[in-house]
Amino acid sequence: MKHIPILIILIFGMLLSGCTNVKPWQKGNFAKRQMSLDLDPLKSRFMRHTYESKEAASGGYGFSVVGCGCK
């Protein structure tokens, strides 16, 4: 029972040490096609166009944050 605070500190310490940002030069894997949320952008665009025509509404497609983030 006495060791619980120490255990909590230890666990948080271990978890925090895992909190690290992916550095810009480490984003090679994000640039891979299989990391893309949308594997067929052309098809998705076509589907969106159809949807917009049918529903007379657009937007709300979510967001995509994949890619290498290169400028």
Q: Which residues bind other proteins (CB under 8 A)?
A: 5-6, 9-10, 13, 16-20, 23-28, 31-32, 68-71
Q: Within the chain, where are the H helices?
A: 4-17, 41-55
CA dihedral for 33, 35, 40, 45, sign (positive or negative)? negative
For residue 43, the one-letter residue type is: K
Q: How far is the CB of 42 from other proteins (least distance, A)?
A: 18
Specify the residue, 57 or 70, whose C-beta has the smaller distance to other proteins: 70
Q: How far is the CB of 55 from other proteins (least distance, A)?
A: 34
